[in-house]
Each structure stands twice: as structure tokens, then as C-alpha cells.
Structure 1
């Protein structure tokens, strides 16, 4: 434990206090955090929406900027991983559990309660897929692009510690080495803990929902706790082997199994309808992207509430998740040019998300519209995917495969997060001690458990929104700092 910094000890102390609070007084925890959430969404919902759009616009600008040819590292540095493995690793960390959880569920929710449309109509189905892709597409990866690029740039090009505070050195100077820098890194650690805990809670809930469909095991809180314990043991075994073994191999397995599940669903599902929705959803998403990006609906209370419940939640969740995803993507992206990095991180996962929602969202909506399985909208979100499979040939086999895919994504996300938390609390060490990763693995599992106990998925949502708020300002500062550094290095290189 010689490598740990004060960030580790302070963050650990506060995390333990939080876990004890949640275990001792879960209702009190739920009440206080929900009050904070209501205040933030009411007063600052617009800030989440506008800031994420800024992240996306700046990311796209970088593709066409003169900085695009600059490398994340020295001029002769080569990428450590091939493109397929790189994509598999960033996607597994970036949204594995989330997209599987919401792939069938979110379109069904919007279908039954759409904004500005009649429920359970063809128009509602069209909007349901558009909104789902909007929430998981370019804006999400714009957040990850900014933070990952900043960390990779400063770590591999300027050779500073791979922590969040170091990316603000051009703005804050030596203050990043003092109390202000420690505060920034502590905020990043907590955003990571709560962002990852949200996904772990969703993963445990969906694995439990799948087991309930396949077996006689009930999806109770006890079942979820047991799942979290089992997966924690598995991901700690993987974390012990290091990033180039456990995480690398699991990420490749994840993508392979996800593609198999995707192709299987296309084959046994309504193939023609899915392909049609793939085309129409892509067009609708791009057509409405500008208006959806800046929608705050000040004069439409019903639509405004929907934006708070969905868009603001997602942007907050992904911002909270971004220190983890950004640090991890940065760690595996050395040697790539800025242009290649931005295109890879921004567009490849977005295209995969469009395909994913067309297949699973389109498949579930088809069953509702055609009267094949009209009870899907009544299922819990974690059961929607398995409910859709229950009406398909070989549905049980697909459900078993889905549970396995969720489990491997669960393990990979948690494994990657322990690495990132270890890195952030050991002054950016590229190989944090196993004991540090073990401690953070236990904290993540405990946090997910107490949040589930204090209010289920609603408590997880609340924690994400609250923890993400201060990190918005850090990300905005990061853009200014990164741009300043790239401008300096570009002119230095060309003079």
C-alpha cells in the first residue's frame, strides 16, 4: 500500500461512512438524497442538458481541427491494442450493462408513456426508438471523449500523472498538486463509485430478473445481494490478473457474446421489421438531433418532467460514470492520433447502439403492436428483455445467453472500475496495487447493495444525479485546459 495517496484514505473514509449510513438508516439516506436530487433537477436540469451538448460539439470540432493529427504520446508511439480489442474494451467499460438492461425496456417505457404522442401507437413506437438512441448515442460518447482524451493527452504526451486533477494544470498551475487537486480527484472517485454502483445495481436486478424467467428463483432483494457477492468475487479474481489479461480477454468475450445474441435475435425475431427500424430510426435520430439536444421545455410542464426523468438522469449518470470510463479508455489508447481517437470513441459505439435498439427495442415493440405479447409494458424494466424472448423460438436459449452476457459485462465493468479507482487513488499509477483494487471492489459492491436496499433502482438514479453535479464544472474546465495545452504544443511543434 506504499503507492496510495491521501486521496485514497480520504475517499475510503467517506465511502465507509456512506455505506454505514445506508446500512444503518436506509430510509433516511433515501430521503436526503432524493431531496437533493429534486433540487438539482429543478434548478439545474438545463445545465446538464446544455453542458453535454457542448461536450459533443467540441468533440466533433476536434475531428476537423488541426489538432487531429497530433498523437496521444510520442511521435513514434504505437497503439498497445489492435482496433477490435480497443473497441471491445472501451465499449465494455462504457455501457455494457446499461445497454443490455435498457435495450428492450426503454423503448417499451416510452411506447406506453411517450412525450407529445398518443401512447401505444405507431407514432409512439417511432419516438420510443428515437429517444432511446438519443440517450445512448453521440451525446453519451461525447462526454466520454472529452475526459478520456484529456487524460490520455496529458498522461502520454506531457507525461503527468494519469489523474483528473493533472488535466487542469494549464488552468490551475501548481494548485493541482495541493488541496484543490486532491479535492478534484476525490470528487472523481465519488462520481465513479456512484456511477458504477448504478450499473452494478441494474446488472444484479436484471440477472435476477432473467433467473426468475428461466428458473423458479424469485428476484428478491436477497437474490440481488447474493448475485452481487458472487460477481464481486469473480471480478476481483479478474482484477488480480491485470488489465492485459483479465479485462482484455473478458472484453473480447463480451463483444463476441453480445454480437452472437444480437444476430440470434435478428434471426429468430421479426427480421424485416428490425431492418426497417434500423434505417428509419437512424434517419429520425439524426433529423431531430439538434432540437432534442437543447430541449428544456420551459412552457410544457409534462414534457419538462419527462426530460428530468430521462434525459437529465442519463446525462447525470454518464457524467458520474465518465471519470471511470474516461480513465480506462485513456489507459488503453496510447499511440492513437486525436482524430482516430475521437472518431473511434464517438461514432463506432453510437452505430452499435443504434443497431442494438433497432434489434431489441424494435423486436419488443413489434410484439406489442402486433398483439403477439401485449404484456411486455407491464413487466419490470429488468424483465423486459426476457419477456420479449419468451415469445420467440429458442427464447429460453436466448434468455440463458443474455444472462451470461449480462454477467460477463457486469464482471468487466466492475473489474475495470477497480482498476480506475486504484489508478485515481495512487497518483495515476498504470498498475495500481492489487490490495488497493480489492478495497475499491468491496466498496463498490457495498455501495450498490446499500443503494438497492434504501430504494432500489430509484436510489441508484438519485445517487448518480447528485454525484455528477460538481463534475460538470470539472469537465467544462477540462475542455478549456485541453484546448490551451493542444494549442501550445501545436504551435511549438510547427515553429
Structure 2
């Protein structure tokens, strides 16, 4: 029965995706317009709901980390992390940020500098520059990782602690088990997650191919054409198929480590060859403004003024990360086995956002400083062509051609790791959450994702891809309610888990009792440490 469900999810999700892509390829303009209008209506009517939900996810995660459940491990209580901290963070960045941060790290602050958020300041002024960094930090900071973190934490808990398949339907099975009619919707939830993931990944890869083509045009004069986009896509397909065959512990891990090393190298070069002091001051001021206005930015709307800024930027971002949370969350869960809940929350919610803020502070701060101290033309370049603005900034720095080549290589490797991790996770989703899905399925999904990109690029170009992106983001609204259900189930399971551990420990050590507070503390510590405690035999019991 389980195998039949596996194939049902696999076949049904593939058919749904093929149908959607076919419609997008045949009617790219109409498909994009309809999806865009639906997305605009959703963000207009439910923008407040997205803001409250994502802020609530942040509160839930930090509360959980500091609670009595923080020491529970995502796996057996005596387990240890599978990956080193550096490899773990590298893979988090590869899956969660990818190529977007490379392009928007400079372009988004410059966009906000030209048109400040909510129209609070006049554009292209020192006040607008400060605001631009503050809101760029906010959009790429803790909130963006909240939805990823919630899904990843819950799936990792069920997969490694409970020994169940890491599927959305499995997490909610305890709720649907008592309701046979609702239980039948389990595969539908998995299909829903797969379709949203594939559409989102295909869109990101397709848009990044267009961006690489723009970068090649800016650096080497290569034409921006379908032929070159097919060549770029073909080269990337070969690379991520090779990486896919090597597995998670080699391909994705090694490429992610290379990515992070290149990111640091490029970032430090710009820091020390650019306006170093101004960049460091920008980062310091930006972090201060971000922390000081954290709650206000989290819940800011514009009901008394006509401003579409939040819908265009923050609300769209939050909808996008919720839509992507099944993919990124499942991947984050897969690489987080053995970490405590507290370690997981602080690692995922602090380290990647901090690195993102450093990247934005360096590239965005350097670009804005160049624009303020002299007309560098970067503001106009960002408005004219987002794909080539970063390379025009490099033209103002020493060894510009080398910088551009390194940036293009970094973007390409990010794309390969994103596509590789996506094929792995989608294969896992369509194989009942298997930690090692069959190579055949990974290859099939890799081919299908590449085919989606090529079809839409040849038929509708950026319009077709944007339509697919809008359709993917529309899935965020229903999935937000699914996330609420997953959180409630997680809280209930944690309470039962902790109670079971207390009971088991009490029974094992009933002849060597301990005080109530120490008893609870020891429960969440390693059992071998409990046995090694020198005074354990001298304690008296007083269980609650």
C-alpha cells in the first residue's frame, strides 16, 4: 500500500507539473497575467496574514529554543551532528539563498536607495541610503528563514527522533488518523508540496540562467539569446546530474563548501579594496537599525496611505519563502540530524541571516557609497538592467574582469547546488521520505526540471517564468494553514516525548532517586553523563 502511495504521489505530481508548464508554454502572456493578478489579489487581501504568521514563526522558534524542550536532540538523545558546522552552514546557504543573494546583495539596497520603502524619504539621499540598508537586512534576515526553520525542525524531529518518513502528510497523520475522510487527503498534501517545490525551483533556475546570460553579455559581449540560454542550461544540467549521482555527502557537500569559500573570498576582496571604513560603519549601523526596529518592521502595513511597497517586496518575500518551505525545510531537516533544538534554531535563524547581512552590507554599502561620493551610474544601471548591475560595480574596482569571472562561477555553482539539492528533495518527497531516494527518480526529476526551464525560456522567456513563479507563490496561502497544523502537532508530540523520557528515567533510577529539578535536568542530558555523575548514588528522590 505504501509503495502504491509513493508512486501515486510521484506520477500525479509529475502530471500536474507537466499540465501547468504546457499551459504556461502555449499561453505565456495570458498565463503570466492571470497568475500575476491572482497573486496581487492574494497579497492585497492577505498581506497582513503573512506578516503576522511569519513573525509568529519567529516567536515560536525562539520560545522553543529557550524552553525546557531546547535540549531535545533531532535524533536519539545520545546522537551527534552528522556534518561539521562549516559544512552544515554551507549547505544551508546553498539551499536557502543560492543565487538570489549574489544578485540582490547589491541590487536590492540600490533599489531601495532610489525608491525608499513606503516613500518615507526622498530617493537618492543619505537618509534613503540608511533606510535602504535597514530594510535590505530585514528582508534577508531572520524572518526569511523562519518558515524554512519551522518545516525543517518538525520534519527532522519526526524523521530522526520518531523514525518516521519526513513527509508533510506523516507529520499530520496523528490528526488525520481519527478522521478517515480527511486521512485520504494525505497524498494530496504531498503532491501539493512537490508541485510548489518544482515550480519554484524551475522558476529560480530559469531566471538565474537569464541572469548569467546578462552577466556574460556585460563581461564578454555574449548575446542575450535563447541559444546561449540553452547552452548555459545544458552545461548546468550536466554538472548537477554528475553531482546528483555522487550523493548528498559528496556532491552537494563539496560544492556547498566551495560556494561558501568563494563567497567569503569575494566579499573580503570588495571590503578591503572598496571604501572599507564606510562599509564597516554601514554594517554596524544597519544591524543596529535592524534590531532597534525589528518588531515595527515585522508588522508594518500601510492602511492609511497608498503604498504598494510592502506587497512588492516584504509580503512577496514572505509568501515566496512559505511556498518554498517544503523544499528548503526538508533539505535543512536532512542535514540537521543530531543537533539539539536550541542549536538548530540558533544555527538556522542566526548564522545564515548574519552572513546575508554581511554580504548585503559589503556589496550594497560599497555601491551606495560609490553613488553618494560620486555619480558612479550604479543607480541607473540597477534600474536599466538588474542582471548586469553587479558587474558594472565591478568595473569600478581593481581586477574587474577577474571579479566578474569569479562572480559568474559562483552563481553557476550556486545554481548547480540548488538544482542538485532540489532533485534530491523532490525525489525524497515522491519516495515516501526516503533518506536515499533511487537514482532513477533523481535523474527523472533533474531532467523534468531542466525541461520545464527550457520550455518556458523558449516559449515565453521571462514572462513565462514569472507566470510560473506567481503560480508557485499562490500556494503559500493554503500552506500557511498547514504549517499551523504542523506546529500544533509538534507541540503536542514534544510534551508527550518529554513526559515519556521523565517516566523512563524515573523507572531506571528508582533506587537512586534525585530531586525534582535535577531529575528533569538529567532527563534532557546524555544518559552516559548521568551514569558518570559521581554523587548519583547519594541523592534522594522526590519526583513530581
Query: What's the TM-score bracket when you normalise by the shorter of the two chains?
Result: over 0.9
SS of residue matched to 2:76: coil
Q: 1:248 to 1:19 in 2, by over 3 A?
A: same
Within 5 Å, which residues of 2 pair with 1:143-158?
143-158=147-162
Q: Assess, with a 3 A threshold, how the Cα gap between structure 1 residues 460 and 490 changes in structure 2: closer, same or farther.
A: same
Q: Which has the higher contact order (CA 8 A, sep 6+)?
A: 1
CA distance in 1, matches of 2:206, 2:62: 33
Residue 514 of structure 2 is matched in structure 1 by none
Does residue 146 of structure 2 align to residue 142 of structure 1?
Answer: yes
CA contact (8 A) 2:79 2:338 kept: yes
Aligned to 1:478: 486
Deviations 1:235-290 (A, max 9, x none): 11111111111111111111111111111111221111110101000001111110
Matched, 1:328 2:336: no
Match of 2:373 in 1: 370
Distance 2:138 2:59 in 1: 15
2:441 match = 436
Match of 2:497 in 1: 489
Which is further off, 172-181 or 442-451?
172-181
Supply the distance in 2 between the matched residues of 1:463 and 1:220 (Cα, whole angstroms): 25
Deviation at 1:63, TM superposition (A): 1.4
Q: Which has the larger radius of gyration?
A: 2
Contact 2:25 2:464 in 1 (8 A): no
Per the TM alignment, residue 43 of structure 1 is displaced from its structure 2 partner at its CA by: 1.5
Q: Which moved more, 1:392-401 or 1:453-462?
A: 453-462
Q: 1:484 to 1:250 in 2, by over 3 A?
A: same
- CA offset digits 1:173-198 (Å, max 9, x no partner): 36699421111111111221122223
**Per-residue Cα deviation, 1:391-441 (whole angstroms, up to 9, x for no partner):** 111121111100000000000011000000000000001111112112212
Matched, 1:340 2:348: no
* Aligned-residue offset at 1:141: 1.2
Structure-to-structure mapping, 1:259-408, within 5 angstroms: 259-302=264-307, 305-374=308-377, 375-408=380-413
Q: Find 2:87's aligned residue among 62, 85, 94.
A: 85
State the TM-score, normalized to the length of structure 2.
Answer: 0.87
- Given that 1:5 and 1:427 are in contact with CA atoms closer than 8 Å, whether structure 2 keeps it comes out as no
User: By how many angstroms is 1:30 displaced?
Assistant: 1.1
CA contact (8 A) 1:191 1:471 kept: no
Task: Give, in whole Å, the separation in 1 of the partners of 2:5 and 2:440.
Answer: 11
**1:7-22 maps to which residues of 2 (within 5 A)?**
7-22=9-24
Q: Which of the residues 49, 64, 67 maps onto 1:65?
A: 67
Offset of 1:467 from its aligned partner? 2.7
Change (3 A) 1:481 1:314: same
Task: Measure the CA separation in 2 of the matches of 1:430 and 1:78.
Answer: 18
Rounded to whole Å, the distance in 2 between the matches of 1:285 and 1:202 is 29
Partner of residue 195 from structure 1, selected from 192, 200, 210? 200
| Contact map agreement 1:194 1:467 (CA 8 A) in 2 | no
Secondary structure of the corresponding residue to residue 313 of structure 2: helix
Q: Gaps (5+ residues) in structure 2? A: 504-544
Unaligned ranges ≥5, structure 1: none
**Aligned partners of 2:331 and 2:421 also within 8 Å:** yes
- The CA deviation at 1:157 is 0.7
Residue 117 (structure 2) pairs with residue 112 (structure 1):
no
Let me know the Cα RMSD of the aligned residues: 1.9
CA spacing shift, 1:449–1:412, aligned 2, 3 Å: same
TM-score (norm 1): 0.96
